Amino acid sequence: MMKKRSGLLIGIICAAALGIPYLLGWFGLLEYQGLDLLFKARGPRPVNPNIIVIEIDDRAINDFGRWPWPRGYHAELLDILEKYKPKAIVFDILFTEAQAEHPEEDEKLAVQAKKLDNVFFASFFDLKSDKAARGKNPIARKETLPLKELIRNAKGYGFVNIMVEPDGKVRKMPIFISYQGKSCPSIDLMAASHYLDADPFKLHVNTDGNGFMWINFASGFDKFKRVSFSDIPISANQIDAGEKPNIDLNIFKDKVVLIGLTATGAEDYWSTSVSALYPGVGIRASSINTILQKDFISRVFALEIFLIFLFLGAAFGIVVPKRTPFEGLTFFLVVVSGIIISAVLIFRFLNIWMDFATMLVLCFITYPAITLNQFIITRFEKGLIEKELQIASRIQQSILPQSLPQVEGVEIGVKCVPAKHVGGDFYDFIKLIYDFVKLKEDRLGIVIGDVSGKGVPAALFMAKAMADFRGISRDHSEPNEALTAINDKLVKEGVSGMFVTLQYLIYKPKERKVKYSNGGHNPLVWVKSTGDVLSLTQSVGSPIGIIPGSEFTADEFSVSPGDVFVMYTDGISEARDRNNKEFEEKRILDAALFNRRLPAQGLADKLVDEVENFSQGMPQHDDMTVIVLKILRQ
């Protein structure tokens, strides 16, 4: 519960901590870079074929001389274009001062513009700020207009201000700029409105809260139809001479024609979302294309994005604490991929820009934060559990005999190595039990057991089985009768699915006899003083606590001084080495035979050492318990 609640709280805190600065615009540049990635992921889009750019390129500069040119060149261009009836002509060139030499060419340009009645000249504003008040157009403090004769004779004029973001890129364009209480349209809007035969003040254009239109760059500048300035007069002369022209000048009919500088070294180059060097006239063309195609970009409102932040934070806070680390990582990757794919798809097909970059930042902060919190809580809880298990382990150990019985004529050795805490642990380690029960003054009973299951349930079941057996063993002098009785009791009172294997041995010192019974446990090992070693399997019955009414048999035999009996659990025989091979019964028999002359405790220790050397480098598979009974000379 702590994990779930703290995870949700951390998710909401991360969302709010990131969302509030987002609402304040602190992540604006990051989202602009995200927009650039969306353009690249989307790929090129078709442009309006009715937009043509006449470039004053390197070739034109080489043919007509260094820039700026005499305005007579532009007048002659208009004279040629007049015959082919373009819909609108846009000069992305400032003609704000009279020409020093041949001033008559200014008038010639004005006259030619009047004849076409579709020419738009450029103006420029000095703005009070690069930013505008929310919901208002940018405000200018000074206006630089075209020459008066050009204004009188042109179809119109509009500003050509290009505004860059703090990272130096052009992404949006003001549609209107306020100056002396008037809204002045951009040259892009003027040309597009004229082409559409619409009023520029009534034409619908999607803008942001500050009156800027996001330019929907189709791709690079090369997507537009482009013609070198040099080809226009050359083609006109070829047509007049009856020759095939370099270009068919009829392509200008009913088109929006932009004229601008693209020559190498020109100052009118800008960085955009789709290119590090994009000519200003290309930005004009992209802006006009956005309006003509009605290809407007809409941005998801910041408040809506903030609500998505809260949803994402809550989702991580709810889902991650309930899942495994792998499932949590998978959820994180799915969410991140979903955000990216959704952002690309809605931008590509709906022209909706979702601020996904900050969402990704939120994911990359929230998921590790919640995961770290889970780790800290888990370590804390594990520490508490570890302490509780240590206490439980001490309690469980206290149930076992605290000292070995002293019986004349025999020697007893015990070695118990638990795999971890009580009753095994999460790695399927089984907690084993053993006990000694003194039946009569001249008899000694030894019982060893192994409870099924693991962890605390196995430990509790072990405590019950041990307590029950201690009580039952006092009333039954025969080992098989004791096993039958404990089996009936555990079947009746035990836990479904749990059982115990028991081996019960009674040593009769006066008669020098051993009698034993086995309830599903490992065989008893008998190393004779003669050097023979036996694995006694003839009387192995079913495990205790499974089958009601089970009957058990017992075997009895005489022993001699020097005989050794080894009782062990499957943690010994099933121990594994690096090759996944088990220690097996044969190694137990060999070790018992080879070390039979050791004291009983030494033999028990040696057998466990053999297993540990065999399994060196491998985790302990199970609890290991060994009991050695050695018959001494009286």
**Mean pLDDT of the 561-581 span:** 90
Cβ contacts of residue 550 below 8 Å, gap of 6+?
Answer: 484, 487, 541, 542
Instruction: Quick: pLDDT tens for 513-537.
Output: 999 999 988 999 999 999 999 998 8
- What region does 428 belong to: left with phi over 0, alpha with psi -120 to 50, or beta? left
The pLDDT value given to residue 391: 62
**Mean pLDDT of the 466-486 span:** 84
156-170, 409-423, 471-485, 502-516, range with the lowest pLDDT:
409-423
141-155, 264-278, 397-411, range with the lowest pLDDT:
397-411
The pLDDT confidence band at residue 569, using thresholds 50, 70 and 90, is: confident
- The total of other beta-carbon atoms located within 10 Å of residue 582's CB is 16
**404-631: CATH, from 1.20.1250.20, 3.20.20.190, 3.60.40.10, 3.40.30.10:** 3.60.40.10
423 pLDDT above the threshold of 60: no
Helix (H) or strand (E) holding 170: strand 169-170
Residue 306: closest CA among 534, 66, 23, 36: 23
The pLDDT confidence band at residue 559, using thresholds 50, 70 and 90, is: very high
**Mean pLDDT of the 566-579 span:** 89
Cβ contacts of residue 322 below 8 Å, gap of 6+?
Answer: 4
The pLDDT value given to residue 432: 28
604 pLDDT above the threshold of 90: yes
453 pLDDT above the threshold of 60: yes
67 pLDDT above the threshold of 70: yes
- Is the CB of residue 288 less than 8 Å from the CB of residue 87? no
- The total of other beta-carbon atoms located within 10 Å of residue 298's CB is 15
What gap in Å lies between CA 586 and CA 588, rounded to an integer?
Answer: 5
What gap in Å lies between CA 263 and CA 55, rounded to an integer?
Answer: 8
1 pLDDT above the threshold of 60: no
Kindly report the backbone phi and psi dihedral angles of residue 137, in degrees, each rounded to the nearest multiple of 5, phi listed first. Answer: -75, 155
Instruction: Quick: pLDDT tens for 181-224.
Output: 899 999 999 999 999 999 999 999 999 888 899 999 998 899 99
Average pLDDT, the chain: 88
What gap in Å lies between CA 96 and CA 92, rounded to an integer?
Answer: 12
What gap in Å lies between CA 372 and CA 6, rounded to an integer?
Answer: 11
**What pTM value is reported for the model?**
0.67
Instruction: Quick: pLDDT tens for 306-315.
Output: 999 999 999 9
The pLDDT value given to residue 207: 92
What gap in Å lies between CA 467 and CA 453, rounded to an integer?
Answer: 18
- Is the CB of residue 228 less than 8 Å from the CB of residue 55? yes
Residue predicted with more confidence, 380 or 434 = 380
The pLDDT confidence band at residue 135, using thresholds 50, 70 and 90, is: low
351 pLDDT above the threshold of 80: yes
The pLDDT confidence band at residue 440, using thresholds 50, 70 and 90, is: very low
Q: At 512, is the secondary structure helix, strand, or coil? A: coil
Q: Which amino acid is at 63?
A: D
What gap in Å lies between CA 145 and CA 96, rounded to an integer?
Answer: 6
599 pLDDT above the threshold of 60: yes
Tell me whether strands 225-228 and 51-56 are parallel, antiparallel or unpaired: parallel
Which of 350-359, 480-489, 535-544 has the largest mean confidence? 350-359
Residue 625: closest CA among 595, 605, 600, 597: 605
495 pLDDT above the threshold of 80: no
294 pLDDT above the threshold of 90: yes
Cβ contacts of residue 615 below 8 Å, gap of 6+?
Answer: 575, 576, 577, 583, 621
What is the distance, to the nearest Å, from the Cα of residue 272 to the centroid of all Cα atoms in its chain?
A: 31
The pLDDT value given to residue 441: 52
The pLDDT value given to residue 437: 46
The pLDDT value given to residue 395: 59
324 pLDDT above the threshold of 70: yes
- What region does 76 belong to: left with phi over 0, alpha with psi -120 to 50, or beta? alpha
- Is the CB of residue 396 less than 8 Å from the CB of residue 455? no
Strand spans (E) along 425-544: 432-440, 443-451, 500-508, 513-519, 524-527, 533-536, 540-541
> Is 141 exposed, middle or buried, given 0-12, 13-18 or 19+ CB atoms closer than 10 A?
exposed
Tokens for 359?
A: 């969402």
Residue 625: closest CA among 577, 573, 585: 573
What is the DSSP code (8-state) at residue 83? T
